[in-house]
Structure 1
Amino acid sequence: MVTGDATLPVQEQDFSHRGMNPRTMRLILNLAGANDERLRETVGRLRQAGCHVDVRVAWDGADAVPFAREAAEAGYDVVAAGGGDGTVNAVVRGLLPEDACGKACRTALAILPFGTANDLATSCGLDADDPIALLDMLEESVPHPIDVGRMNGVPFLNVASGGYAAEVTTDTDPDLKRVLGSLAYWLTGISSLGQVEPRPIKLVADDFRWEGRVYAVAVCNGRQAGGGLRLAPKALLDDGLFDLAIVPEVPWTEFLELYDDLQRLELEESPGHIVSRQAAKVLIDAPEGLQVNLDGEPHRGHRFEFSIEPRRLCCLLPKSCALISSRKN
């Protein structure tokens, strides 16, 4: 079922036929996607048009990983991840497992934003209010090779965020997130100010070094996390670089200024206290331990090594996607 030379790096493979008319597709859906009637109708139309489509429902990320791996090994043209950032990450872990660094993947990724935050999808121009739009417009979607980040070998596409802010993200009420977006995380943080403990870290990013206590540190391949907070407003998915954001400890009298700094960062203005850099390799040592949310999924540890695999995975994206170098804004 596999076509072409599977040993070629992704940027040298011909994916042109897949964005226009994929022959084989697997949908890996969370429960919200599985119950969507419009999606059922769209799958029916694709099948009538001659595309082999099969569907798998993932109760959690652990289910999505083997479903994606099986599809890649069988040579499917496209695997569509129907869910939030965590579902997308699980599918990518199946397509590009830790023992597959450097090996070509002939299967392209599509994203159907059926999750709560959908940070990667929305920053790419996909409409979370119309999660199946990409399938309805396959002829207009563009297959493009994008970078894949790895944290201690685990692949990710969007953002690895660590520190107190990552803990707030985990603790924030899902209903509050849906209503207030990124402000919900800030309000959750404000409500627990007495428990704020900045974490000491040592960070090395290419030739840049930083040491101190942080409320948050983010290693970004994509632009936003936390339900719409743009931590890296200039990040591109195909430039071979991470965009870093460090939110350092400040005196309590300046703590509330950090919210304004984050707003300025989103507007691509001078971010005040926040430190921004770009790098291809990043090492973070956290002597007291650190929680890092990888595409929204929590991990804990003391040492985090980040590397990037340029243009590693083909992804179907709308023509309006601003995270591609040829269409940046």
Structure 2
Amino acid sequence: MTRRPRARLIYNPSAGKEALRNHLPDVLDLLELGGLEVSCAMTHGANDAIIAARQASIEHFDYVIAAGGDGTINEVVNGLSNLDYRPTLGILPAGTTNDLGRALGIPRDLKKACEIIVKRNAVPMDVGKIGEDGYFINIAGCGKLTELTYEVPSKLKTHLGQLAYYVKGMEKLPGLKTIHLEIDSPDFAYEGKAMLCLIANSNSVGGFEKLAPNAKLNDGLFDVILVKQVNLPELITLARLALKGEHANSDRVIYFQTETLTISSPELVELNLDGEFGGHLPQKFNCLKHHLKVLVADPADGGRLALP
């Protein structure tokens, strides 16, 4: 008798207005009917998903399914990425913004997302490495604007959804200021003031689906976006341009691609990794090409990540 592939579902019960908690029996039924042998691990606090993903790898599960928002996915990626055996990653977008799900074309509809998983179409995907043992899958950033994503309380996100980010953003606008950054890479160097620096692995950041218009999830390159000092009207204009993917043409924006870079600052600068607090500068960033396999829709069915 052929063994059914084993999958460990790691889920955040508070993600996305608790949508997953309310539909968990249906999700498990769909995955089981799709031919997977599924067991669950529920997260209760920080780093739970890291521990659960690492254990699933040690036990040689075939798949690890991250069900939650970008923070949950980030923890699962951190649990898998420093191990020799890495199960294939499945994603059930159940968070507030779901940047990685957007970039991969995985729908928020849990039934449709489960249909993608059970088809088991796996493709290689890049992973960002920071320092010696930190990882991110979608975005690393620094600057006051990036801080609002991890300053929004989880209860506020549960009740207001993406509106919570705009509420927090309006609160922070009067206090926006530049930071001094020193950026060094084989492809570009910069020293000076900046409002924001983003190191993107995908084109979708903070709900902006064209923020890194040239980014590809499996090209072995980061897309780096640097916003120089701007006033409030200029910032609003840039935000409008970003919705259309036209901000890279602005003289207030620097945009380049690279495999590796180092960022430092004489100031105390916090880092944001996939929407969560990620320590402080200085840090070195490396793009690990094709480091994880991820389950996505076939391009013929609307998938956005094809075989390289």
TM over 0.5: yes
The number of aligned residues is 293
Counterpart-to-counterpart distance in 2, 1:60 and 1:82: 14
Structure 1 residue 63 corresponds to structure 2 residue 54: no
Residue 73 of structure 1 deviates from its aligned partner by 1.2
Cα deviations by residue, 1:56-75 (Å, 9 ceiling, x for unpaired):
10113411111111111111
Task: Map residues 49-198 of structure 1 onto 2, 5 A cutoff.
Answer: 51-97=36-82, 100=83, 103=84, 105-128=85-108, 130-138=109-117, 140-152=119-131, 153-172=133-152, 174=157, 178=161, 180=163, 184-185=165-166, 188-198=168-178
Contact conserved, 1:22 with 1:77, CA < 8 A, in 2? no
Residue 189 of structure 1 deviates from its aligned partner by 4.2
Where 1:224 maps in the other structure, the secondary structure is: coil
Where 2:281 maps in the other structure, the secondary structure is: strand
2:249 matched to which residue of 1? 271
Assess, with a 3 A threshold, how the Cα gap between structure 1 residues 198 and 209 changes in structure 2: closer, same or farther.
Answer: same
Assess, with a 3 A threshold, how the Cα gap between structure 1 residues 176 and 257 changes in structure 2: closer, same or farther.
Answer: farther
Contact conserved, 2:20 with 2:94, CA < 8 A, in 1? no
Cα deviations by residue, 1:277-324 (Å, 9 ceiling, x for unpaired):
000001100110211110011123230110011001000011223244
Assess, with a 3 A threshold, how the Cα gap between structure 1 residues 120 and 209 changes in structure 2: closer, same or farther.
Answer: same
Counterpart-to-counterpart distance in 1, 2:19 and 2:73: 13
Residue from 9, 22, 36 that aligns with 1:27: 9
Residue from 198, 203, 212 that aligns with 1:223: 203
Assess, with a 3 A threshold, how the Cα gap between structure 1 residues 211 and 108 changes in structure 2: closer, same or farther.
Answer: same
Q: Which amino acid aligns with 1:23?
A: P
Contact conserved, 2:208 with 2:243, CA < 8 A, in 1? no
Deviates more, 1:54-63 or 1:222-231: 222-231
Counterpart-to-counterpart distance in 2, 1:57 and 1:167: 27
1:15 matched to which residue of 2? none
Counterpart-to-counterpart distance in 1, 2:158 and 2:31: 34
Residue 147 of structure 1 deviates from its aligned partner by 0.6
Assess, with a 3 A threshold, how the Cα gap between structure 1 residues 149 and 228 changes in structure 2: closer, same or farther.
Answer: same
Counterpart-to-counterpart distance in 1, 2:199 and 2:37: 38
Q: Which amino acid aligns with 1:54?
A: S
Assess, with a 3 A threshold, how the Cα gap between structure 1 residues 25 and 262 changes in structure 2: closer, same or farther.
Answer: same
- Ranges in structure 1 where 5+ consecutive residues have no aligned partner: 1-20
Residue 35 of structure 1 deviates from its aligned partner by 1.8
Where 2:49 maps in the other structure, the secondary structure is: helix
Residue from 309, 320, 324 that aligns with 2:288: 309
- Ranges in structure 2 where 5+ consecutive residues have no aligned partner: none
Counterpart-to-counterpart distance in 2, 1:210 and 1:131: 43
Counterpart-to-counterpart distance in 2, 1:188 and 1:94: 30
1:240 matched to which residue of 2? 220
Contact conserved, 1:146 with 1:237, CA < 8 A, in 2? yes
Across the aligned residues of Structure 1 and Structure 2, the Cα RMSD in angstroms comes to: 2.5
Where 2:47 maps in the other structure, the secondary structure is: helix
Where 1:289 maps in the other structure, the secondary structure is: coil
Deviates more, 1:170-179 or 1:149-158: 170-179
Q: Which amino acid aligns with 1:302?
A: L
Cα deviations by residue, 1:236-271 (Å, 9 ceiling, x for unpaired):
111000001001113x3xx32223223324423353
Q: Percent identical across equivalent pairs?
A: 30
Structure 1 residue 284 corresponds to structure 2 residue 263: yes
Where 1:87 maps in the other structure, the secondary structure is: helix
Where 2:32 maps in the other structure, the secondary structure is: helix
Counterpart-to-counterpart distance in 2, 1:177 and 1:279: 37
Where 1:76 maps in the other structure, the secondary structure is: coil
Counterpart-to-counterpart distance in 1, 2:159 and 2:20: 24
Counterpart-to-counterpart distance in 2, 1:205 and 1:124: 27
Contact conserved, 2:107 with 2:113, CA < 8 A, in 1? no
Counterpart-to-counterpart distance in 2, 1:55 and 1:288: 43
Residue 213 of structure 1 deviates from its aligned partner by 1.2
Contact conserved, 1:289 with 1:300, CA < 8 A, in 2? no
